[in-house]
Structure 1
Amino acid sequence: MTAAKSFADVARIIIGVLNEEDPEGKIPGAQWKWVQATLTNVALEVLLSNPDSPPSFTDVEWYQGQIKMIACDDERSVQLYKDAIAKVGDKKVIPSQPRARVWIPATPSQTDQIKQLIRTCNPNLPNGGWRFVKAFDDAAAESSVETKRATMQILLLLIKESIEPLAKSGGEINYGFTKMKVMANMSGADAGEHLASESE
């Protein structure tokens, strides 16, 4: 992750925070809070290593919804921010949220109804923080046209409190009058692609 100067605006300097592991520099909006938390964690170390006036800057939202923009009041603030970002750069400091690709019946298809059905049918499973990211159009894994019409695959972001109960049940949970398999995945592939759609 790097902080790159883009242009000067009167006396202020605008920098963009880029994700070096993404070809377009994108940072999923839903993960920005973890970047902020880690920046705060390294702030004292950076400031004590560079004694003088503290940095002065303002969050100026997102550029094209993908790159975080920060307005710094002076060159010192730019340098301190870059020093802090360099310490955040390891992707490991940004926790990955567990997620699962799940096959479910094609109806109901509305996000709220899907989440409500999961909550209602599994009162003892911590799932209030689960988030529906998207439904996949590609049903190639299914064997027949009829089955493709009857089912769909979705991506869910889970919460860590769900992992142990899911492991104990083999990932099987109730879904209406049937069951579905929710196998938690902790790697970053799916989330990196799709978290941005949930960031708003």
Structure 2
Amino acid sequence: MRPFSEILKDHLVVAVVEQAQEDGRISAENWRKVESRLMAGFPQIMNDNPGPYPLCRDQGWHQGFVKLVACADGRSLDLYKKAIAGVGEVWPGARLAVVAKDQIPSKPRSRAWIPAEPSSTDTILEMIKLGNPNLPAGPHNNK
């Protein structure tokens, strides 16, 4: 059997998001509830889908609030999706979904290198504009 580290070279990374939250946020406390439900429902998932054991591993958090999971193959991913769909309303109003990593809802972020030494407002605004070409940053009045 290949080590899991080798299997993950071809893995599928997905995210579990809370559809009731605009940014998909799941608290660590609520994630523990999800894990508990996943473990409780796992035997039924395997009984309903006989075959190789799925290989999925926790990959941490995206931006601190969306759970990432890596599955080794399509079967593992399919079973993981079924398991998440089967956990139900883990907390009042919860609507969990598995989405591709590039489908994670995220808030826009800005980037800028700001000089350590004092700079003019215009210089700082220009640096923000350069790092964020899609950011609407119009003319600035320094008065």
- Taking structure 1 as the reference length, the TM-score comes to 0.41
Q: CA deviation at 1:50?
A: 0.4
Q: Distance in 2 between matches of 1:81 and 1:93?
A: 22
Unaligned runs of 5+ in 2: 1-7, 94-143
1:10 Cα deviation (Å)?
Answer: 3.8
The CA deviation at 1:93 is 7.7
Corresponding residue for residue 85 of structure 1: 84
Report the equivalent of 1:52: 51
Check the 8 A contact 1:56/1:73 in 2, yes or no: yes
Instruction: Report the equivalent of 1:35.
Output: 34
User: For residues 41 and 27 of structure 1, what CA distance do their matches in structure 2 show?
Assistant: 20
CA distance in 1, matches of 2:59, 2:53: 19
TM-superposed CA distance for 1:35, in Å, is 0.5
Shift of 1:60: 0.7
Partners of 1:82 and 1:39 in 2: CA distance:
11
Cα offset, 1:20, TM superposition: 1.2
TM-score norm. by structure 2 comes to 0.56
Q: Tell me the residue number matched to 1:11.
A: 10
Provide runs of 4+ in structure 1 moved above 4 Å: none
After TM superposition, give the deviation of residue 71 of structure 1 in Å.
0.7
C-alpha distance in 2 between matches for 1:31 and 1:92: 8
Unaligned regions of 5+ residues in structure 1, if any?
1-8, 95-200
1:91, 1:40 → 2: CA distance? 13
Given that 2:33 and 2:90 are in contact with CA atoms closer than 8 Å, whether structure 1 keeps it comes out as: no
In the aligned structure 2, how far is the partner of 1:87 from the partner of 1:93? 15
Root mean square deviation of aligned Cα: 1.8
- What is the aligned partner in structure 1 of residue 72 from structure 2? 73
Give percent identity, aligned residues only: 31
Q: Secondary structure at the match of 1:46?
A: helix
- Secondary structure of the 2:13 match is strand
The structure with more strand, counted as a fraction of residues: 1
Give, in angstroms, the shift of residue 42 of structure 1.
Answer: 0.6
Tell me the distance in 2 between the aligned counterparts of 1:26 and 1:80. 23
Distance 1:16 1:51 in 2: 25
Which one-letter code corresponds to 2:80 in the other structure? Y
Measured against aligned partners, the alpha-carbon deviations of 1:47-96 in whole angstroms (never above 9, x if no partner) come to 110000011111110001011000111010100000000011324489xx
Q: In the TM superposition, what are the counterparts of 1:185-196 in structure 2 within 5 Å?
A: none
Rounded to whole Å, the distance in 2 between the matches of 1:25 and 1:12 is 22
Secondary structure of 1:47 counterpart: helix
